[in-house]
Structure 1
Amino acid sequence: MTLLRVVARPMIASLFVYGGISAIRSPKVRAQRAEPVADLIRKAAPQTPVDAATLVRVNGAIHVGAGLALATGRVPRLSAAALAITMPPTTLSGHRFWEETDPAARANQKVHFLKNLAITGGLLLSTLDPDPQKKFIARRAKDKVVEASETVQAQLGR
């Protein structure tokens, strides 16, 4: 692993691990903001018992698990993808700047909204980050196709 990855992955992951632990420990503060997401799930799947506090805890657990995986370099692309998938609902429920009436609160929420947008972009880029010891997935797939083609050609006697 390069020095850049050794430093950068834990830096971005720290936000998720810290926030995830906080969400698991005290979900009630965030549950109020997560209620619109719980309502959407209830409308989409009425038979599913959904509680906003449980959603907050599940999201927190994903952030802790995927954050630790990203920080340690274990399945970094998958963990970055998991974190990126959780960001839109987290951002839309937690930083609804368009609903704020106080200009200072609106500006603060807008900054957090845009910060989360930027972090999501970084996570999405991380899903494409190749492991320096491994060929990029598209290249590995192409090599497998070439290898299979050569095997078939050899068996056919060409």
Structure 2
Amino acid sequence: MTTLVRLLARPMLAAGFVLHGAKAIKDPDPYVPQAKPVTDRIVPVLKQYAPPQLVGRIPENPRTLVRLNGAIQVVGGLMLITSKYRRLGALALIASLIPTTLAAHPFWEEQDKQEREVKRDNFIKNVGLGGGLLLAAVDTEGKPGLLWRVGHGAAEVAEGSRRAVRMARREAKLAAKSARREAKLLALQAKDELPFD
């Protein structure tokens, strides 16, 4: 049952992103007016913190950025559906969802009460999608994740070290005990070999 849910849930979650992304790639113009205020704020920040060799490659044109975001949604959605790259796809979709949500649903800027409610509801819906994507990104399908493996690997190494220290102490005690016995025996033998006065 769990496997069936996973098989159905990932395509259901990815479908909207793939369709919306394909639409943005094919015809980005309807999205450009919404995207421009966000891209005008994000691009300078990206250029400020990007490595020098990438600064010149960051596109500034909102139309290009809308298409790029659409491509990320298509590729991320397809990766989410596959078994091999689903976690990376989920992370890519989260990265894509943030600017999309800020551009399309800035309810805090809306003056009309009804329009504000609609944008707020869509904003919350996208936050919920982000939560679903986070779950998809951390889902290990019943297998131990990397953090669990690292933590348990470190615990096993620590336990092995403690065991080795205990064994070394035990061996050292046995060796010391054996050395004392040998010393007593040698002392007794030396007494027997000494001539009497």
TM-score by structure 1 length?
0.83
Residues 1:120 and 2:130 aligned together: yes
Distance 2:140 2:134 in 1: 13
Distance 1:91 1:101 in 2: 18
Match of 1:108 in 2: 118
Classify 1:82/1:142 alpha carbon distance in 2 versus 1 (closer, same or farther; 3 Å): same
Distance 1:64 1:28 in 2: 18
Greater relative CO (CA pairs within 8 A, separation 6+):
1
Residues 1:140 and 2:141 aligned together: no
Pick from 87, 107, 112 the counterpart of residue 77 of structure 1.
Answer: 87
Classify 1:78/1:30 alpha carbon distance in 2 versus 1 (closer, same or farther; 3 Å): same
Distance 1:86 1:42 in 2: 14
How far residue 49 of structure 1 moved from its aligned partner, in angstroms, is 4.6
Match of 1:19 in 2: 20
How far residue 42 of structure 1 moved from its aligned partner, in angstroms, is 4.2
Is the contact between residue 31 and residue 52 of structure 1 (CA under 8 Å) also seen in structure 2? yes
Distance 1:99 1:143 in 2: 48
Match of 2:30 in 1: 29
1:32-58 per-position Cα deviation (integer Å, ceiling 9, x unaligned): 111112211343338655011111111
Pick from 54, 63, 73 the counterpart of residue 63 of structure 1.
Answer: 73
Is the contact between residue 9 and residue 73 of structure 1 (CA under 8 Å) also seen in structure 2? no
Structure 1 unpaired stretches of 5+: none
Specify the code of the residue in structure 1 equivalent to 2:147: A
Distance 2:93 2:26 in 1: 19
Distance 1:147 1:100 in 2: 57
Is the contact between residue 43 and residue 60 of structure 2 (CA under 8 Å) also seen in structure 1? yes
Specify the code of the residue in structure 2 equivalent to 1:95: H
Count the aligned residue pairs: 154
Match of 2:51 in 1: none
Match of 1:98 in 2: 108
How far residue 148 of structure 1 moved from its aligned partner, in angstroms, is 9.8
TM-score by structure 2 length?
0.68
Match of 1:9 in 2: 10
Answer with 138-147 or 4-13: which moved more. Answer: 138-147
How far residue 143 of structure 1 moved from its aligned partner, in angstroms, is 4.8
Say what the alpha-carbon RMSD is for the aligned residues: 2.5
Answer with 139-148 or 33-42: which moved more. Answer: 139-148
Max radius of gyration: which structure?
Answer: 2
